[in-house]
Amino acid sequence: MTVLDRLFAPDSLFSRRFFFLAKRFVAGETIDSAIAAVRELNAAGMTATLDFLGEDVLEREAAIKTRDEYFRMLDAIAAAGVQSNVSVKLTAMGLLVSEGFALENLSAVIEHAQAGNPKDPFVRIDMEGSTVTEATLRVFERAYAMHKNVGPVLQAYLKRTPQDVERAIEIGARVRICKGAYSEPPEIAYKDMVEIRLKYLQCAGELLTRGNYPGIATHDPALIEAVRRFAREHGIANDKFEFQMLYGVRPALQHQLVKDGYRLRIYVPFGTHWAGYFYRRVAERKENAWFALSSVFSK
């Protein structure tokens, strides 16, 4: 365990003291608080996807605990009657233990969603760092061969992604396209934001015209405007795709999209393992650190 792991461990004094910083981006520590956030989003015309925070699990018991937490989340979604599906990270489902073990846990979640969350039984597999890209896509395809209510995330910054987009289109899988949030080497990833935006739009264009109900995940006004224009020009109806954004990020833009008649799904993370997620939000935009602090002082 590194010093940082110890510092950010969910039961550490540091984590308990500093959760207020992450609060803007994390919908609380319990399922109840997450459901309350989803209820508010639904009332504002948005759907949601719930994420139980945690990643890089190395012990089987921890992965099984996460799987069981997903069962409880799906039951809570159904009991509350809210519009939400779930997003999972395969390293939280035991991918670093073995692919077969992660597949077992993922399949159980997919089956639980199918049986228990009839309003929206879809299960999204988040994409993590490049050390697990291949394994994540392999497990996804094995799960998809058995159940169709599952889909991957593809990251526009990875040079391999146009091929992965083609493969997803070929098999009819539902993709969430995002820029990518991990620090990757230049041999495999574009580093220049202009280039990443260009690649994003190329992938989004293919998914919008030939794909299956893509999730357009971004808060970038230039990309959102370009996608809106593209859809208009190609006669793609608003119910053939959805925009997706993160809880607490650019709420004014979120409301505007709904007002303009677009579908919008909000990614709602919750739980005590918030450190890695919060770090990525701050790393991608320094303003997010300021947001977190200012929301504390403006109370």
Per CB under 6 A, residues contacting ligand FDA are 126-127, 153, 155, 178-182, 217-221, 244-246, 250, 267, 284-285, 287
Strand (E) or helix (H) holding 235: none
CB of 16 to ligand FDA, least distance (A): 27
Count, in order, helices (H) and strands (E) of the chain: 12, 8
Helix, strand, coil tally for the chain in percent (to 5)? 55, 15, 35
Which residue number, 28 or 180, has a Cβ lying nearer to ligand FDA?
180
- Minimum CB separation of residue 165 from ligand FDA in Å reads 15
Minimum distance from CB of 40 to ligand FDA (Å)? 17
Give the nearer residue to ligand FDA in terms of CB position, either 75 or 240: 240
Contact by Cβ (8 Å): 139, 102: yes
**Cβ 115 to ligand FDA shortest distance, Å:** 25
The alpha carbon torsion through 207, 212, 218, 220 (nearest 10 deg) reads 40
Rounded Cα distance, 72 and 53, in Å: 14
Please indicate whether residue 176 is annotated as part of the active site: yes
**C-alpha distances out from residue 110 to 139, 140, 159, 166, Å:** 13, 11, 29, 24
| Gap between the Cα atoms of 184 and 167, Å rounded | 22
Euclidean distance between CA atoms 13 and 21, whole angstroms? 14
DSSP-assigned beta bridge partners for residue 123: 86, 150
CB nearer ligand FDA, residue 111 or residue 220: 220
Report the 10 Å Cβ neighbour count for 287. Answer: 10
Give me the sign of the Cα torsion angle 284, 85, 26, 29. negative
Catalytically annotated residue among 67, 174, 176, 281: 176
Query: Taking the complex as a whole, how short is the minimal distance between the CB of residue 33 and ligand FDA, in angstroms?
Result: 19
The token pair at 156 is 């526009």
SS3 82: coil
Residue with Cβ nearer ligand FDA (99 or 242): 242
Q: Which of 24, 67, 124, 126 is catalytic?
A: 126
280 in helix, strand or coil? helix
CB of 98 to ligand FDA, least distance (A): 22
Alpha helices in 87-185 (DSSP H): 99-116, 133-146, 161-171
Dist. CA 38–CA 48, nearest whole Å? 6
User: Residue 8 or residue 291: which is nearer to ligand FDA going by CB?
Assistant: 291
250 is catalytic: no
21 vs 178 by CB, closer to ligand FDA: 178
Show which residues are catalytic: 126, 176
